[in-house]
């Protein structure tokens, strides 16, 4: 018999059931635990979540200082009393109440309160009267078109428009002070201190506000800083300035994107602006832990602040002060001469031709005030921001252009007699009968005619007296490109904003090309002249001028200068084209200008036996006036003479280059020699100061009469 096989009982369902039971129990425990946490600890956790709202606040720090090359502090920070307000979630009526209380304790300047501010404040103070400004019928019509915020905005606009001048005049002087304070209160970020008053806070105001802080929630007394200029107005226009009331509106987005706060003060111009990233420092950061109501529960420091880094300038302030004095004295002296009605400014740059460091950058301008009084103001920026026809100082570049184009060769001669082109007045040198000129003597005696013939050759022309002259217009570009190698007609690259490159004449008549090579067509800045003569002095390297020499860590507690972070290295922008012996001839011509009888600067240097071995080139340009009084002269501007001088010393090992520019110096065929007087006195001062420092003495007064031109002295100026 076949036996039936027994079926084996499966254990799988039993195991699955056990697994389901375990999962069920775990979920039950989890649900019970979640319920317990929610019921027993729910409020605690909810409060914990609500209270951990973090807001990071940046606190400003003092800016870095500026020092001169010898370590003297030029720009510093001075502490001053200040009153601030921090909005910790206060409502409008609460801020107004605090503003009123504070206005009773301090005097607040109201000059920045605008008409719109007054209208807003009037509505706040007179809500019922403001409500009546818009009738119910008008509101109903507006509701047909608008709703929500747009409706409220349009009603508010109508209220503003209908506030009368008489109603605004009802605001008292006290109301305006309250408004000015409230305006500051409401302009800042939450939990960020906003400056209410930081200038002219008296000790009494500081004390009484400090004593009443419990009645002034959000208000605090603290110490702020203010920029201090150790040398007064000297070089002030170049140093720049800092904003008074936080970030400039026109650059708000730029700075906010870079982690600035609205109440941060930043550089607005020149060095302060150019080196803002270095000077502004590392702000202190604190984290405010608040609840949802905005109440601060805890303040946690994140990082300590650090004052901005210090700048060491290439400027020598002792030299700068002396140069400023010379420029002012000579400007006054020249202004006392006849024919100087339009004279109002003068500029000087001293530059190390080996490194491009600016040793002194001086400028003075006579300004007429509203009351008619004339005062002399600092205008050092005029060295880079204004351009003029400079005259014969550019002739060194003209000679080198002639060499490079093959128009002339070393030793090429031309006979100096007026160039007579058909249909135009004769074009001649400053003095008749100069005779046969070579490249070197043309520089020494400042022969215009030599430069004219060089330009004619560059332009591919054939000069025949009393005939028409045709020149290839491409010659203009050839000359300008060559001049640019020396820095003429292009930006020098100085580390200051808003440098001007100058004006290039648009006409292409042959006579304009002749004017171009003697500096009487295109315009150049005095800084360009300094770069140009430095390029000649150092053997052909166009150095980038710079006014910042080093960036250093902040001054130590003991007053010592901090360690160097970055040193501004000399930068060669380009090497000029041409042979070394060609440049030697230009240098020789410049030496003869200053040191040999007949040279156009001989009476200022060689005749007086200057022991610092100078070389240079004078310039006298016939130009047209384009200054602040231009509107008085109708369509045709008056003709004027611009004076200039470029030079360097010692000739055999140049350590200083100088450029002097006196625009609109005089009218007429004869005048003063302020350009040479300034150059002589400034170079004398530079080398005298050097000797004094080597011997340990100190006296830079260089105003003796033997260094000035006398009215009756015979001049050899071209």
Beta strand 194-197 pairing with 615-624? unpaired
Contact (Cβ atoms closer than 8 angstroms) between residue 326 and residue 708: no
- pLDDT beneath 50: ranges in the chain: 1-7, 52, 54-57, 286, 303, 700, 702-716
At residue 225, the pLDDT reads: 85
Question: Active site residue: 314, 392, 446, 447, which one?
Answer: 392
Q: How far apart are the first and last CA of the chain?
A: 148
Helices (H) and strands (E) in the chain, counts: 24, 20
Distance (Å, rounded) from C-alpha 526 to C-alpha 242? Answer: 27
Q: What is the per-residue burial (b if ≥16 Cβ within 10 Å, else e) of 617-653?
A: bbbbbebebbbeeeeeeeeeebebbbbbbbbbbebee
Q: How far is CA 105 from the centre of its chain?
A: 39
At residue 1, the pLDDT reads: 45
Pick the closest to residue 357 from 139, 656, 84, 155 (CA basis): 656
Identify the three-state secondary structure at position 211.
Answer: helix
392 catalytically annotated: yes
Q: Is the dihedral of CA 302, 305, 308, 310 positive or negative?
A: negative
Identify the three-state secondary structure at position 470.
Answer: coil
| Angle (nearest 5°) at CA 251 between 246 and 254 | 105
At residue 571, the pLDDT reads: 97
At residue 244, the pLDDT reads: 78
Distance (Å, rounded) from C-alpha 461 to C-alpha 469? Answer: 7
Q: Residue holding tokens 């076949």? A: 2
Backbone angles phi, psi at 479, to 5 degrees: -70, -45
Identify the three-state secondary structure at position 381.
Answer: coil
* Cα Rg of the chain (Å, integer): 37
Identify the three-state secondary structure at position 75.
Answer: strand
- Report DSSP letters for 617-684, one per residue: EEEEEEEE--STTGGGG-SSPPEEEEEEEEEEESTTS--EEEEEEEEEEESSS----HHHHHHHHHHH
At residue 253, the pLDDT reads: 84
At residue 60, the pLDDT reads: 61
At residue 717, the pLDDT reads: 53
Pick the closest to residue 441 from 406, 414, 419, 403 (CA basis): 414
Please enumerate in sequence order all residues whose Cβ is within 8 A of that of 353, keeping only pairs 6 or more positions apart, or say none. Answer: 533, 534, 535, 537, 538, 543, 648, 654, 655, 656, 657
Please enumerate in sequence order all residues whose Cβ is within 8 A of that of 48, keeping only pairs 6 or more positions apart, or say none. Answer: none
At residue 710, the pLDDT reads: 38
Contact (Cβ atoms closer than 8 angstroms) between residue 498 and residue 240: no
At residue 532, the pLDDT reads: 98
* 3-state SS record for 266-281: CECCHHHHHCHHHHCC
Q: Residue holding tokens 């160097």? A: 564
């Amino acid at each position: 018999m076949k036996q039936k096989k027994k079926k084996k009982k499966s254990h799988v369902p039993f195991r699955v059931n056990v697994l389901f039971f375990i999962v069920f129990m775990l979920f039950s425990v989890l649900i019970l635990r979640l319920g317990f946490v929610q019921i027993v600890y729910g409020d605690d956790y909810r409060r914990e979540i609500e209270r951990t709202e973090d807001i990071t606040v940046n606190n400003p720090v003092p800016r870095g200082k500026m020092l001169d090359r010898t370590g003297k502090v030029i720009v510093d920070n001075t502490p001053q009393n200040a009153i601030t307000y921090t909005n910790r979630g206060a409502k409008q009526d609460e801020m107004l109440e605090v503003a009123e209380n504070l206005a009773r304790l301090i005097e607040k300047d109201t000059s920045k309160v605008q008409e719109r501010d007054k209208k807003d404040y009037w509505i706040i103070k007179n809500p019922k009267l403001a409500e009546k400004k818009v009738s119910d019928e008008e509101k109903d019509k507006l509701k047909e078109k608008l709703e929500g915020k747009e409706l409220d905005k349009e009603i508010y606009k109508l209220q503003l428009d209908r506030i009368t001048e008489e109603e605004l005049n009802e605001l008292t002087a006290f109301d305006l002070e309250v408004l000015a304070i409230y305006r500051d209160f409401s302009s800042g970020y939450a939990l960020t201190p906003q400056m209410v008053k930081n200038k002219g806070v008296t000790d009494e105001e500081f004390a009484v506000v400090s004593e009443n802080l419990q009645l002034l929630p959000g208000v605090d007394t603290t110490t702020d800083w203010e920029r201090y200029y150790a040398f007064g107005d000297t070089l002030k226009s170049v140093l720049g300035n800092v904003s008074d009331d936080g970030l400039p509106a026109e650059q708000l987005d730029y700075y906010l994107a870079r982690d600035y706060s609205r109440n941060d003060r930043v550089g607005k111009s020149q060095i302060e602006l150019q080196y803002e990233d270095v000077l502004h420092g590392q702000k202190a950061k604190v984290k405010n832990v608040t609840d949802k109501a905005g109440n601060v529960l805890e303040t946690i420091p994140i990082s300590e602040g650090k004052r901005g880094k210090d700048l060491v300038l290439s400027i020598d302030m002792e030299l700068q002060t002396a140069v400023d004095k010379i420029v002012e004295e000579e400007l006054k002296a020249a202004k006392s001469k006849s024919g100087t009605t339009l004279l109002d400014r003068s500029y000087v740059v001293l530059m190390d031709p080996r490194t491009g460091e600016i040793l002194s950058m001086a400028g003075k301008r006579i300004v007429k005030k509203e009351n008619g009084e004339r005062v002399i103001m600092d205008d050092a920026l005029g060295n880079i921001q204004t351009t003029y026809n400079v005259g014969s100082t550019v002739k060194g570049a003209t000679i080198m252009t002639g060499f490079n184009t093959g128009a002339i060769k070393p030793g090429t001669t031309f006979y100096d007699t007026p160039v007579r082109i058909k249909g135009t007045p004769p074009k001649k040198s400053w003095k008749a009968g100069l005779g046969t000129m070579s490249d070197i003597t043309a520089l020494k005696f400042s022969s215009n005619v030599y430069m004219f013939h060089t330009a004619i050759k560059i332009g591919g022309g054939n000069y025949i007296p009393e005939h028409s002259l045709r020149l290839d217009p491409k010659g203009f570009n050839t000359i300008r490109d060559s001049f640019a190698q020396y820095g003429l007609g292009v930006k020098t690259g100085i580390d200051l904003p808003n440098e001007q490159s100058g004006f290039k004449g648009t006409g292409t008549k042959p006579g304009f090309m002749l004017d171009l090579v003697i500096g009487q067509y295109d315009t150049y800045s005095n800084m360009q002249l300094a770069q140009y003569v430095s390029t000649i002095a150092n053997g052909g390297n166009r150095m980038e001028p710079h006014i910042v020499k080093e960036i250093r860590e902040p001054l130590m507690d003991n007053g010592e200068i901090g360690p160097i972070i970055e040193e501004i290295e000399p930068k060669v922008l380009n090497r000029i084209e041409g042979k070394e012996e060609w440049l030697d001839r230009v240098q020789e011509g410049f030496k003869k200008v200053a040191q040999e009888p007949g040279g156009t600067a001989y009476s200022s240097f060689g005749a007086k036996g200057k022991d610092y071995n100078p070389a240079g080139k004078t310039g006298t340009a016939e130009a047209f006036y384009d200054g602040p009084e231009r509107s008085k002269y109708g369509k045709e501007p008056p003709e004027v003479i611009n004076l200039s001088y470029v030079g360097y010393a010692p000739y055999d090992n140049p350590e200083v280059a100088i450029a002097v520019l006196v625009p609109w110096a005089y009218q007429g065929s004869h005048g003063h020699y302020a350009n040479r007087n300034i150059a002589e006195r400034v170079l004398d001062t530079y080398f005298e100061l050097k000797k004094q420092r080597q011997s340990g003495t100190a006296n830079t007064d260089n105003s003796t009469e033997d260094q000035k031109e006398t009215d009756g002295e015979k001049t050899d100026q071209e």
